[in-house]
Structure 1
């Protein structure tokens, strides 16, 4: 079984064309060059929870950015602590 692999974003967009925009499955399949069996499977998988799934992906991206920012801010704080200790020692 050497089927073509599609990205998750592509599959969700294909499902949205049917569920949210009201296009016919056959039209979407023809335009995107996919089989109707694949699209029906994706609709089952993402149809009701597609927007939820997209929201989870956005939340994961935001979490990644926040963790990176936290790491940067923590490093800055540590540098400032060392600088404060250095200058406190120098002033004595």
Structure 2
């Protein structure tokens, strides 16, 4: 098995297509290409979905990342406002 070799996305998609579209066994394709079956199963999980589904997943991941960033900012603003409210409440007495 090849250790430390980086494969292009095109190579990975081609290998997955042999399994998904052409119906070859994972072990057969892995042996023929000189890769591990674990790698091929991983690539299958990654590239086995249609391009539309992959793009939707990527969009959702980007949206989640943006929402987490916004939540962190709003939480920080709320904490600052709570501290300011407590400070001014003490000062007014």
TM-score norm. by structure 1 comes to 0.54
Q: 1:39: how far off?
A: 5.0
Instruction: Please give the per-residue CA displacement for 1:1-37, whole angstroms capped at 9, x wherever unaligned.
Output: 656522xxxx4xx6xxxxxxxxxxxxxxxxxxx6xxx
Alignment partners' CA distance in 2, 1:39 and 1:61: 23
Q: Which residue of 1 aligns with 2:86?
A: 85
State the partner residue of 2:34: none
Aligned mates of 2:72, 2:7 — CA distance in 1: 35
Aligned equivalents of 1:55 and 1:79: distance in 2? 36
Structure 2 unaligned residues grouped into runs of 5+: 21-43
Which ranges of 4 or more aligned residues in structure 1 deviate by more than 6 Å? none
Task: Count residues with an aligned counterpart.
Answer: 64
Instruction: State the distance in 1 between where 2:58 and 2:7 align.
Output: 19
Helix, strand or coil at the partner of 1:5: coil
The TM-score with structure 2 as length reference comes to: 0.53
| Deviation of the 1:50 alpha carbon | 1.7
